[in-house]
Amino acid sequence: MTGALLVLLATLATCAAVSYVLRRRSTVLPPAAAPGAGRPRCGGSCTTHGTATAVPDHPEGTPRVNEIHRPDTSPAVREGQTRQFQRDGRNFKAYEAARAGATSLDVHLQAGEIKVHVGGVDRAQVLVSTTDESGRGHSAVMNTAITENGAVLRVHVPDIKGSFSMGGGSFQVNNFGGMHIDGDVIVTGGGNVTVNGRRLGGSSSGETIAPITVEIRLPDRSAVKSDSVSASLNVTGHAARVDAKSTSGDVVVASALEVCAQTTSGDVVAENTANAQITTMSGDIDVAGLTNGAGLSTMSGDIKIEARQECSINATSMSGDIRHSGSRVNASTMSGRIRQR
């Protein structure tokens, strides 16, 4: 009897132990799922425990190039901080301003392209990029200085020293009296620099650098100031004021209360503006949608003016043509023609 009781107790103990082990195993987390398993395969929203949760359509930590330009999504850059990343074959330096509200932008780029859009964001956003993965162009992008001082945002891309080519084209100097250049000669074309038939530089004797692009988005009522050698400036949206200075880069402004531009050979286009003060040496000047006044001057470029109403306009060209419509113009030219449409 005693032996049977001991066997029964041993059997009960064994069953209790097995039951305990099974209960412990049931609380262990399952093995890690494969990447993406259990997550929606689209970039919409899903519902978890009754709460709508946005699911990004890219892996966590992977930036989207255009994310900084999308105010309806969480930016890839924290406010007041910079971030460097690579996406779709381009290398980026990104920044989002710490301060919200209208901004006074001061941007410098030696060669390349500056794109500015005013409106659609509450604080300034900056992207500087190149396709170069190394070299002086890449170094210039990554060493871009972006600083804030109150409402002033400065974006300064370091100048590239020495000879280099960027893009396609050529620069040629023919035989004439003489020329002295104090500083660097920059070929924004990828072709050759030729003096009296002798090739001095260009794509075959200097580093070929991919174009550098600066993209900036500003809050409403912001102002833009740019300085460049051959970089072009394109401003969209509606700016409070655009002040541009360039040697050979073109300036295009879609809409601004005031436009002030000075170039040597770059063309200037200003649309939907109240006031314009533009000076070039050989670049053309095109002003449309003028509503108040303008002072336009060029040595050999053509001037075209379209006013929405009667304005106070002065236009001067040494050898270029002057065409105007919508308002009387105080125009003068030495060898060009003056035509009213």
Please report which confidence band the pLDDT of residue 78 belongs to, taking 50, 70 and 90 as the band edges. Answer: confident
pLDDT of residue 313: 98
| Residue from 281, 280, 258, 282 nearest 270 by CA | 258
Least confident of 13-22, 156-165, 233-242: 13-22
Residue bearing the bigger pLDDT, 281 or 75: 281
Contacts 24+ apart (CB under 8 A), 310-316: none
CB 91 within 8 A of CB 138: yes
pLDDT band at 206 (very low <50, low <70, confident <90, very high): low
pLDDT level of residue 162 (50, 70, 90 thresholds): confident
- Please tell me the predicted confidence (pLDDT) of residue 51: 30
- Does residue 74 have a pLDDT over 50? no
pLDDT band at 32 (very low <50, low <70, confident <90, very high): very low
pLDDT band at 81 (very low <50, low <70, confident <90, very high): confident
pLDDT class of 327 with cuts at 50, 70, 90:
very high
DSSP string covering 36-54: TTTS-SSSSEEEETTEEEE
pLDDT value at position 163?
A: 75
pLDDT of residue 167: 63
What is the percent of the chain where pLDDT is above 70? 66
**Pairwise CA distance, residues 286 & 268, whole Å:** 6
Residues 70-89, mean pLDDT to the nearest whole number? 71
Give CA 117 to chain center in angstroms.
9
Section 268-288 average pLDDT: 98
> What is the rounded distance in angstroms from the CA atom of residue 231 to the CA atom of residue 233?
7
Q: What distance in Å separates the CA atoms of residue 165 and residue 111, rounded to the nearest whole number?
A: 10
User: Domain-by-domain residue ranges, the chain?
Assistant: 161-175+184-208
Q: With bands split at pLDDT 50, 70 and 90, how would you rate the model's confidence at 208? A: confident
- Reading the block at residue 32, the tokens are 């890690």
pLDDT for res 267: 98
User: Which contiguous run of DSSP H or E holds residue 18?
Assistant: helix 2-26
Higher pLDDT: 250 or 186? It is 250
Residue 252, Cβ neighbours under 10 Å: how many?
Answer: 19
